[in-house]
């Protein structure tokens, strides 16, 4: 008999005792308030509210159906592979309780027994933002048809630099927007894809160009009902007046035309970013060539981590054919840690998943990505019926296989370059001759000052894509660093042929020409840079120097009229250069133009009273003027 | 005589001629959904809070434009007794559903049409016989799982067959959407 008691207790714990009536207030409100209402309330993404007894009863059988299928609440990861913040998965017991409630007639019960109803905030969940950026124009979403992907470019409206601890995205139309991603565009490269400024541009995935290696390694993501993420101390990112935020939005038609005009709220902190996280991407897009009808096409990637690190968050990404998406790590001792496992991928509910506790990976651990795709007609999400061959690419009808990890190296140092190098070497192993691997390895070597190694990788990159202007420009920069100004200049010219408005390449060309003492050509290129960007401080300074040196060369050749002209133009950029004023005075004096020479010597001495040459020459010039004056008087 | 009358009623029930009552328009006036001339009658059952029915607004407009001139009469049926007339008007206007709008608060037409889901269609012949009921097309495989375009347009095929006097390709195809039983 004694054995029976625990058994009965166990049954009672997992299944309400027979005869016990399940009621809305007592049994259902704890589930609904926590797992349904965050989205299903006015102003949020859920198509109807689920806050009151009447609300829930109006959808009771539907709720049974969608919870049993685990379509709602949407939560893709399987338990057992990673513990995540804000996990929305219902327990089996909760699902049974809902079903039992409906089977028993969906009774209300006593409101006194209800769970505490959370205070839901309307609008900005983190309070009033410090800065709000709104898309300039609303996107007009068609009433029906396929999903649409749109990129809004939002210029940062700031006077100086600030540190951002959190962003919150308000979709502008919660019913139509399925999820959104923000990318930080420090070179404002994405806006070149807009037909007119502020118009935005289409595309499911996009890449952002950067001119320095300082990757912004944060997942800035929005999904319906998600709680905005506040970065921990030391993980803030820098916002400057010169950057754009690019908001990539996935929209689904609702049956009527919709306007979508999202906003991003920024929350600042006084604590700057002191940690150096990095996004590590495992991927195998190059192997994605999925035959029509293939029900289980597999791709994999394995990356050995080059240092001790913590994994903070994971973001798996595939398009419509993805089915089973899995990531795990094999530690040096042979044990395996599950990072994430999604058995039935649904691009509509993609998300960033943040670990409740960082997942430690010792140096030498192998991170593995195993993705499976279903390109058969039996996959209802297949965008092609009948199925057809699908390859890797950015558009919705292409496929992707990415497993992104946000990692933080353990020792607190900035190890991003080292990590990037390991990633790019791995990429080169996967795709021999690959442009981006060789370009990035070259750029890394250049940043480290290894010009010779940089040239080797960059030459290979240019060979892979001969008219890629950024690669041509970077190879030119490496050659210039290695002391080969002549070849560098030719590379910058090629970059400019590919993109005549590539100001950086023009600036570099001007420098390469100056290096070769081709003053006239160098000055012409610097002037052109200033036409494109009149405030460029580097171009102003260098043009001043080039004109000065050109003037010196003319002086040595006794072409004093030219000397005067170049010195005068140079002074436009260096008014406070005492010696240049003095030298201009000397050239004028040599030409007998003492009346013009005297004020130059005077300015030189005002700027630098100890300039002996100017003192001497000023006296001489004044003496000559006096003599001339006496002669005039005698005449 | 009694026996004959009983027999007639029984036959009518089997053929779907049972009385439909409680149908009203948005003014609250009683309406006979089978009144007026029509070669084929199509009822589409809706709830204003069902995102799946909303997605069919354009498709229904297309079908109404295609078959309206051939005397196929479309009616949108709102079956939630708790919805307000104002809300229904607004919903019709926003999504531009075609045809007349009627309410079925007691679900008598729901039962006659044998529908359980929104959106679900019921096609009746001129004689008032239910010839097809079920999904509009196969775009939705289940809630949250949809094809970008349907590969089978069940309602379109059913109306065309009814108008042409051809046998129906199918009498029923299960619909995906929201449950009518939740708003009984």
| Mean of pLDDT values over A37-56 | 93
Cβ of B143 within 8 Å of Cβ of A66? The answer is yes
Q: Answer whether A51 touches B (CB < 8 Å).
A: no
pLDDT tens digits, one per residue of A386-433? 999 999 988 778 999 999 999 999 998 999 999 999 999 999 999 999
Alpha-carbon gap, residue B66 to B156, rounded angstroms: 9
Cβ of B54 within 8 Å of Cβ of A255? The answer is yes
Does residue A16 carry a pLDDT above 80? Answer: no
Cβ of B49 within 8 Å of Cβ of A47? The answer is yes
Q: Answer whether A55 touches B (CB < 8 Å).
A: no
Q: Nearest-CA residue of chain A relative to B83?
A: A58
Neighbours of A67 (CB within 10 A): 21
In this complex, which of B49, B55, B147 lies closest to A48 when CB atoms are compared? Answer: B49
Q: Answer whether A48 touches B (CB < 8 Å).
A: yes
Complex ipTM tops 0.90: no
What's the angle, vertex CA A551, arms to CA A550 and CA A554, rounded to 5?
90
| Mean of pLDDT values over A617-628 | 92
Nearest to A576 by CA among A536, A607, A609, A544: A607
Alpha-carbon gap, residue A475 to A490, rounded angstroms: 10
What's the whole-number average pLDDT of chain A? 92
Give, as one character, the DSSP assignment of residue A356: E
| Mean of pLDDT values over A508-515 | 96
- CB < 8 Å to A69, chain B: 142-143
Q: Nearest-CA residue of chain B relative to A175?
A: B51
Distance from CA of B7 to the nearest CA of A (A): 37
Give chain A's domains with CATH numbers.
22-113 (no CATH), 131-269 (2.60.120.310), 281-432 (2.60.120.230), 440-516 (1.25.40.10)
Does residue A510 carry a pLDDT above 50? Answer: yes
User: Is A606 in contact with A615 (CB distance < 8 Å)?
Assistant: no
Predicted TM-score (pTM) of the model is 0.83
Alpha-carbon gap, residue A30 to A40, rounded angstroms: 15
**What pLDDT sits at residue A205?**
77
pLDDT, greater one: B144 or A208:
B144
Token pair listed for A550: 């050109």
pLDDT tens digits, one per residue of A78-116? 999 999 998 989 999 999 999 999 999 999 999 999 999
CA pseudo-torsion sign A600, A606, A607, A613: positive
Alpha-carbon gap, residue B87 to B82, rounded angstroms: 10
Phi, psi of A297 (to 5 degrees): -90, 130
pLDDT tens digits, one per residue of A444-475? 999 999 999 999 999 999 999 999 999 999 99
Phi, psi of A251 (to 5 degrees): -120, 145
Helix-helix angle A60-68:A92-103, to 10 degrees: 150
Distance from CA of B128 to the nearest CA of A (A): 30
pLDDT tens digits, one per residue of A298-324? 999 999 999 999 999 999 999 999 999
Q: What is the CA radius of gyration of chain A?
A: 33
- CB < 8 Å to A175, chain B: 51
User: Is A102 in contact with A214 (CB distance < 8 Å)?
Assistant: no
CA pseudo-torsion sign A376, A379, A382, A385: positive
Q: Answer whether A224 touches B (CB < 8 Å).
A: no
**Percent helix, percent strand, percent coil in chain A, to nearest 5:** 40, 20, 40
pLDDT, greater one: A34 or A397:
A34
Distant-in-sequence, close-in-space partners of A481: CB < 8 Å, separation ≥ 6: A446, A449, A451, A454
pLDDT, greater one: A64 or B21:
A64
> Which of A149-158, A201-210, A510-519, A621-630 has the least mean pLDDT?
A201-210
Distance from CA of A256 to the nearest CA of B (A): 5
CB environment A306-342: b (16+ within 10 A), e (fewer): bbebbbbbbbbbbbbbbbbbbbbbbeeeeeebebbbb
> Which of A145-149, A415-419, A592-596 has the least mean pLDDT?
A145-149
Does residue B2 carry a pLDDT above 50? Answer: no
- CB < 8 Å to B136, chain A: none
Cβ of A256 within 8 Å of Cβ of B56? The answer is no
Distance from CA of B87 to the nearest CA of A (A): 14
| Mean of pLDDT values over B130-158 | 94
User: Is A384 in contact with A294 (CB distance < 8 Å)?
Assistant: no
Neighbours of A510 (CB within 10 A): 27
Cα separations (Å) of A277 from A25, A180, B168? 45, 22, 63
Distance from CA of A218 to the nearest CA of B (A): 29
In this complex, which of A144, A346, A382 lies closest to B58 when CB atoms are compared? Answer: A144
Give, as one character, the DSSP assignment of residue A28: I
Cβ of A348 within 8 Å of Cβ of B144? The answer is yes
| Mean of pLDDT values over A214-239 | 89
Cβ of A47 within 8 Å of Cβ of B80? The answer is no
- Pairs of CB atoms within 8 A across A/B: 75
Which H or E element spans position A461? helix A451-464
The answer for B107, left when phi > 0, alpha when psi is -120 to 50, beta otherwise, is left
Distance from CA of B50 to the nearest CA of A (A): 7
Alpha-carbon gap, residue A182 to A244, rounded angstroms: 10
**What pLDDT sits at residue A552?**
96
CA pseudo-torsion sign A549, A551, A553, A556: negative
Alpha-carbon gap, residue A337 to A310, rounded angstroms: 13
**What pLDDT sits at residue A11?**
38
| Mean of pLDDT values over A477-506 | 95
Alpha-carbon gap, residue A47 to B141, rounded angstroms: 19
- CB < 8 Å to A66, chain B: 143-144
Alpha-carbon gap, residue A281 to A417, rounded angstroms: 14
**What pLDDT sits at residue A12?**
38
Place of tokens 């998600």: A226
Does residue A1 carry a pLDDT above 80? Answer: no
- CB < 8 Å to A51, chain B: none
**What pLDDT sits at residue B1?**
37
**What pLDDT sits at residue A187?**
87
| Mean of pLDDT values over B17-34 | 86
Does residue A213 carry a pLDDT above 60? Answer: yes
User: Is A350 in contact with A340 (CB distance < 8 Å)?
Assistant: no
Does residue B19 carry a pLDDT above 80? Answer: no
Nearest to A598 by CA among A607, A585, A587, A579: A585
User: Is A43 in contact with A171 (CB distance < 8 Å)?
Assistant: no
Does residue B3 carry a pLDDT above 90? Answer: no
Interface residues of chain B, partner chain A, Cβ below 8 Å: 49-51, 53-59, 80, 82, 94-96, 141-149, 151, 178-179, 181-183
Confidence bin at A15 (pLDDT 50/70/90): very low
Nearest to B23 by CA among B130, B88, B109: B109
Distant-in-sequence, close-in-space partners of B134: CB < 8 Å, separation ≥ 6: B120, B121, B154, B170, B172, B173, B174, B175
**What pLDDT sits at residue A192?**
87
Q: Residue A348 in 3-state DSSP?
A: helix
pLDDT tens digits, one per residue of A519-557? 999 999 999 999 988 888 999 999 999 999 999 999 999
**What pLDDT sits at residue A19?**
61
Does residue B17 carry a pLDDT above 60? Answer: no
Q: Answer whether A146 touches B (CB < 8 Å).
A: yes
Give chain B's domains with CATH numbers.
19-183 (3.40.30.10)
Alpha-carbon gap, residue A283 to A316, rounded angstroms: 10
Please give the full DSSP string across A465-490, using - where no structure is assigned. Answer: STT-HHHHHHHHHHHHHTT-HHHHHH
- CB < 8 Å to B91, chain A: none
In this complex, which of A59, A144, A255 lies closest to B182 when CB atoms are compared? Answer: A59
Strand partners, A190: none
In this complex, which of B49, B57, B151 lies closest to A255 when CB atoms are compared? Answer: B57
CB environment A252-264: b (16+ within 10 A), e (fewer): bbbbbebebebbb
**What pLDDT sits at residue A635?**
65
In this complex, which of A69, A144, A383 lies closest to B55 when CB atoms are compared? Answer: A144
Alpha-carbon gap, residue A424 to A461, rounded angstroms: 13
Q: Residue A501 in 3-state DSSP?
A: coil
In this complex, which of B49, B57, B82 lies closest to A143 when CB atoms are compared? Answer: B57
**What pLDDT sits at residue A18?**
53
In this complex, which of A58, A147, A383 lies closest to B183 when CB atoms are compared? Answer: A58
Compute the residue count for chain B.
184
Give, as one character, the DSSP assignment of residue A27: I
Does residue B166 carry a pLDDT above 90? Answer: yes
pLDDT tens digits, one per residue of B83-135? 999 999 999 999 999 999 999 999 999 999 999 999 999 999 999 999 999 99
Cβ of B82 within 8 Å of Cβ of A58? The answer is yes
- The tally of CA atoms less than 13 A away on the side-chain side of residue A42 is 2
User: Is B136 in contact with B113 (CB distance < 8 Å)?
Assistant: no
Alpha-carbon gap, residue A173 to A180, rounded angstroms: 12
Alpha-carbon gap, residue A381 to A379, rounded angstroms: 5
SS3 of B129-184: CEEEEECCCCCEEECCEECCCCCCCHHHHHHHHHHHCCCCCCCEECCCCEEHHHHC
- CB < 8 Å to B82, chain A: 54, 58
Distance from CA of B120 to the nearest CA of A (A): 15
Does residue B6 carry a pLDDT above 80? Answer: no
What percent of chain A has a predicted confidence (pLDDT) above 90? 81
H-assigned helices in B16-153: 51-54, 57-67, 85-95, 108-113
Does residue A3 carry a pLDDT above 50? Answer: no
| Mean of pLDDT values over A324-333 | 98
């Amino acid at each position: 008999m004694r054995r029976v008691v625990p058994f009965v207790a166990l049954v009672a714990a997992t299944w309400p005792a027979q005869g016990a009536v399940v009621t809305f207030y007592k049994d259902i409100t704890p589930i609904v308030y926590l797992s349904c209402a965050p989205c299903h309330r006015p102003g949020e993404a859920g198509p109807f509210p689920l806050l009151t007894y009447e609300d829930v009863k109006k959808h009771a059988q539907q709720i049974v159906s969608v919870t049993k299928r685990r379509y709602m609440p949407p939560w893709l990861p399987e338990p057992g592979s990673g513990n995540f913040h804000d996990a929305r998965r219902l327990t089996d017991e909760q699902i049974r309780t809902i079903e039992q409630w409906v089977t028993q007639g969906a009774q209300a019960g006593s409101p006194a027994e209800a769970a505490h109803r959370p205070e839901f905030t309307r609008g900005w969940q983190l309070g009033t933002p410090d800065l709000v950026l709104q898309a300039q124009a609303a996107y007009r979403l068609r009433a029906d048809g396929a999903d649409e992907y749109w990129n809004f470019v939002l210029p940062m409206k700031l006077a100086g630099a600030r540190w951002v601890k959190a962003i919150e995205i308000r979709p502008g139309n919660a019913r139509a927007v399925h999820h959104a991603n923000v990318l930080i565009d420090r070179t404002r490269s994405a806006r070149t894809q807009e037909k007119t400024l502020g118009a935005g541009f289409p595309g499911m995935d996009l890449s952002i160009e950067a001119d320095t290696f300082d990757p912004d390694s944060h997942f800035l993501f929005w999904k319906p009902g998600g709680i905005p993420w506040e970065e921990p101390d030391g993980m803030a990112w820098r916002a400057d007046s010169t950057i754009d935020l690019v908001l990539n939005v996935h929209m689904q038609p609702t049956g009527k035309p919709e306007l979508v005009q999202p906003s991003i709220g920024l929350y600042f902190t006084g604590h700057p970013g002191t940690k150096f996280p990095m996004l590590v991407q495992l991927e195998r897009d190059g192997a994605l060539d999925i035959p029509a009808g293939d029900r289980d096409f597999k791709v994999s990637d394995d990356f050995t981590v080059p240092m001790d690190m913590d994994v903070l968050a994971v973001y798996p990404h595939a398009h419509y054919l993805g089915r089973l998406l899995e990531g795990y790590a094999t530690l040096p001792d042979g044990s395996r840690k599950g990072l994430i496992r999604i058995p039935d991928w649904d691009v509509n509910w993609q998300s960033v998943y943040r670990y409740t506790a960082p997942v430690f990976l010792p140096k030498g651990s192998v991170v593995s990505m195993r993705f499976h795709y279903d390109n058969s007609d039996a996959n209802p999400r297949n965008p092609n019926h009948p199925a057809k061959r699908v390859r890797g690419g950015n558009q919705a009808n292409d496929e992707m296989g990415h497993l992104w990890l946000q990692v933080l190296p353990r020792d607190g140092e900035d190890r991003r370059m080292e990590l990037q190098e390991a990633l790019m070497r791995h990429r080169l192993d996967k795709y021999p001759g690959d442009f981006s691997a060789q370009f990035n390895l070259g750029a890394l070597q250049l940043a480290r000052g290894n010009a010779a190694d940089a040239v080797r990788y960059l030459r290979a990159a240019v060979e892979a894509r001969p008219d890629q202007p950024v690669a041509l420009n970077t190879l030119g920069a490496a050659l210039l660093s290695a002391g080969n100004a002549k070849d560098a200049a030719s590379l910058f010219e090629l970059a400019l042929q590919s993109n005549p408005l590539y100001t950086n390449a023009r600036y570099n060309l001007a420098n390469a020409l100056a290096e070769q003492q081709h003053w006239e050509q160098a000055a012409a290129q610097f002037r052109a840079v200033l036409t494109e960007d009149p405030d460029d401080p580097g171009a102003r300074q260098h043009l001043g120097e080039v004109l000065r040196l050109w003037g010196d060369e003319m002086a040595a050749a006794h072409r004093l009229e030219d000397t005067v002209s170049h010195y005068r133009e140079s002074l436009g950029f260096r008014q406070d250069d005492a010696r240049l004023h003095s030298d201009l005075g000397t050239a004028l004096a040599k030409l007998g133009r003492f009346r013009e020479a005297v004020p130059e010597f005077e300015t030189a001495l005002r700027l630098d009273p100890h300039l002996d040459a100017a003192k001497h020459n000023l006296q001489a010039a004044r003496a000559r003027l006096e003599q001339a004056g006496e002669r005039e008087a005698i005449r | 005589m009694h026996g004959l009358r009983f027999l007639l009623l029984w036959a009518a029930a089997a053929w779907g001629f049972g009385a439909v009552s409680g149908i009203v328009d948005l003014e609250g006036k009683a309406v006979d959904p089978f009144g007026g001339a029509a070669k084929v009658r199509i009822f589409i059952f809706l709830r204003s809070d069902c995102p799946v029915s909303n997605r069919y607004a354009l498709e229904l407009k297309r079908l109404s434009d295609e078959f309206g001139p051939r005397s196929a009469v479309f009616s949108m049926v709102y079956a939630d007794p708790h919805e307000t007339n104002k809300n229904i008007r607004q919903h019709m206007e926003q999504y531009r559903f075609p045809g007349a709008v009627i309410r079925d608060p007691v679900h008598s037409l729901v039962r006659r049409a044998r529908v359980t889901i929104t959106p679900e269609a019921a096609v009746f012949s001129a004689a008032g016989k239910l010839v097809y009921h079920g999904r509009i097309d196969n775009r939705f495989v289940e809630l949250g799982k949809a094809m970008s375009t349907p590969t089978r347009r069940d309602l379109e095929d059913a109306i065309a067959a009814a108008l042409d006097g051809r046998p129906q390709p199918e009498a029923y195809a299960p619909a995906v959407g929201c449950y009518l039983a939740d708003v009984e």
